[in-house]
């Protein structure tokens, strides 16, 4: 993603923020849409488009769990393991998903298709045990079979055209 593309994305919303620093987070989210994570080049482009140093942009990005400064799979699967989900079998769900995609717990599958991560409360405890693919609607309550079906469908879909983590 180039600084120019990011600037074009920011142009219509610039006037909504009296301090242009506020554009850094939207710019980072937009930059992440291309590859699903933020390589150095993307950080540099965000820095150029917003007028802040790359070091500053990186210090902001590193604070947020859903901005990835390391490569992740084409799909990020977040299994919530906070209390309400734990009581409904989240730890077993996490282990089951890991076995399906061939990771040992959290991590990225060998084929680069999936990153599995343990998440904190996703605001969907009524759907416990639940998971979230990228930042799509939270899914649940999930049996292990239902989780397999979700993963199977994702495999069939391949890579998304735009990553919304």
Partner 1 sequence: MPQLNSVYRHREFQDLLTLSGYERAGGWNGLKATLEMTPDDALYAFHRSGLRGRGGAGFPMGRKASFLPVDSGRPTYVVCNADESEPGTFKDREILDKNPFQLIEGVAIASYGVGCERAYIYVRGEYGHQWDVLERAIAECRAAGRLGPDAFGPGAPFDITLYRGAGAYICGEETALLESLEGKRGQPRLKPPYPAVAGLYDCPTLINNVETLAALPPIMHRGADWYSAIGPEKSPGTKIFSVSGHVLKPGNYEIVMGETTLRDLIFDLAGGLRDGREFKACWPGGSSVPVLTAEHLDTPLDYESLASAGSFLGSGGCIVMDDSGCIVRASWRLAHFYRHESCGKCTPCREGTGWLEKILGRIVHGDGRLEDLAMLESLFGRISGRTLCALADGAVAPVQSALELFRDDFERVIEQGGSPVPEPMGVINA
Number of residues that bind partner 1 (CB under 8 A): 54
List 12, 55, 63, 156, residue binding partner 1 (CB under 8 A): 63
- Contacting ligand FES within 54-83 (CB under 6 A): 80, 82-83
| 82 CA to centre of own chain | 18
CB of 89 to ligand FES, least distance (A): 11
Q: Alpha-carbon distance 16 to 14, whole Å?
A: 5
Strand partners, 75: 114
H-run or E-run covering 151: helix 144-157
Please give the full DSSP string across 101-134, using - where no structure is assigned.
HT-SSSEE-TTSSEEEEEES--S-GGG-S-EEET
- Per CB under 8 A, residues contacting partner 1 are 13, 16-19, 21-26, 28-29, 59-60, 63-67, 78, 81-84, 86-92, 119-129, 132, 134-138, 141-143, 164-165
- Per CB under 6 A, residues contacting ligand FES are 80, 82-85, 121-122, 124-125, 128, 130
């Amino acid at each position: 993603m180039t600084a120019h593309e990011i600037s074009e994305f920011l142009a219509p919303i610039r006037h909504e923020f009296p301090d242009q620093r506020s554009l850094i987070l939207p710019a980072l989210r937009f930059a992440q849409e291309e590859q699903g994570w933020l390589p150095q080049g993307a950080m540099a482009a965000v820095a150029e488009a917003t007028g802040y140093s790359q070091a500053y942009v990186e210090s902001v990005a590193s604070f947020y769990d859903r901005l990835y400064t390391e490569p992740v799979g084409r799909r990020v699967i977040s299994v919530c393991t906070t209390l309400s989900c734990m009581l409904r079998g989240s730890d077993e769900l996490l282990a089951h998903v890991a076995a399906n995609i061939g990771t040992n717990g959290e991590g990225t599958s060998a084929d680069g298709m999936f990153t599995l991560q343990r998440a904190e409360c996703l605001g969907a405890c009524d759907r416990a045990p639940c998971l979230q693919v990228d930042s799509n609607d939270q899914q649940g309550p999930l049996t292990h079979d239902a989780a397999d079906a979700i993963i199977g469908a994702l495999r069939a879909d391949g890579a998304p055209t735009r990553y919304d983590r």
